[in-house]
Structure 1
């Protein structure tokens, strides 16, 4: 079974939430399990999109209880490890789609790159090297459909 981690900010814009909902819907339509941080913003939107399309959604929570988890999760995993849970979210995905940007999202993007995961970025910050060139390993997508296709997991 294909698993795709979807990362993004809790304080997401409406445009980012709309993109995340569509990413979730598209992933569920392809039979993928969606893994996310399990709370609000992009995480809740991708979970709503996937669950609304009949998909399976796993939320890896930073707290030691399910308190605050969004209602669209199929499975909520309380970890009690704080932001270290970002590594668990990223490692659970066969690929990682990043929607929008925040410091936590940036840490997930970095962890995904370090672990050799395919990383697709939809909006958000533009990450560059010391000379200002885009970093290798990040594919930029212009739409939710492009982001899902760019994971390379679906034929």
Structure 2
């Protein structure tokens, strides 16, 4: 399945390790990752997925496919700026939300609009976000949500 992964564009080293672990878990299980295609959470999750031979899609805010991080297989240039946040959760069957700020909140909101299940790992505590403790639990939860 396609899983949208959302989170901050700038993250700590600790968060980077956690996000890469999410990516590795998704890649090991054969899921395609959809993200915003730039740095921070987006780059870390793509790096993890690629380490396991998986596929990544980056929905970019810019008009230039070459702006994608080096781990994006399919860059989609939109030229929409932050308005592209609506497209990231739309293009996954479920969403894993990690630590982030306003952009992450907007993507969580759009996930709700599109009726996508949202699993949170150290992210915003909001209604509709199923909080979990580990990268493995995050992937287990999105798989269970989509199979129901």
Q: What is residue 139 of structure 2 aligned with on the other side?
A: 148
CA shift, 1:67, in A, is 4.1
SS of 1:85 mapped into structure 2: helix
Offset from partner CA, 1:105-149 (integer Å, 9 cap, x none): 01001110121110001002223xxxxxxx1x2100101011111
**In 1, are the aligned partners of 2:9 and 2:100 still within 8 Å (CA)?**
no
Q: What is residue 42 of structure 2 aligned with on the other side?
A: 43
Aligned length: 146
Q: What is residue 74 of structure 1 aligned with on the other side?
A: 73
Structure 2 length-normalised TM: 0.94
CA shift, 1:103, in A, is 0.6
**In 2, are the aligned partners of 1:99 and 1:124 still within 8 Å (CA)?**
yes
Q: What is residue 88 of structure 1 aligned with on the other side?
A: 87
Q: What is residue 116 of structure 1 aligned with on the other side?
A: 115
SS of 1:101 mapped into structure 2: coil
Larger Rg: 1
SS of 1:77 mapped into structure 2: strand
Give the superposed CA RMSD. Answer: 1.4
Task: Map 1:13-24; keep pairs closer than 5 Å.
Answer: 13-24=12-23
Q: What is residue 5 of structure 2 aligned with on the other side?
A: 6
Structure 1 length-normalised TM: 0.89
Q: Distance in 2 between matches of 1:91 and 1:8?
A: 15
Structure 2, unmatched stretches of 5+, are: none
Q: Distance in 1 between matches of 2:119 and 2:86?
A: 17
Q: Distance in 2 between matches of 1:45 and 1:148?
A: 16
Q: Distance in 2 between matches of 1:84 and 1:45?
A: 22
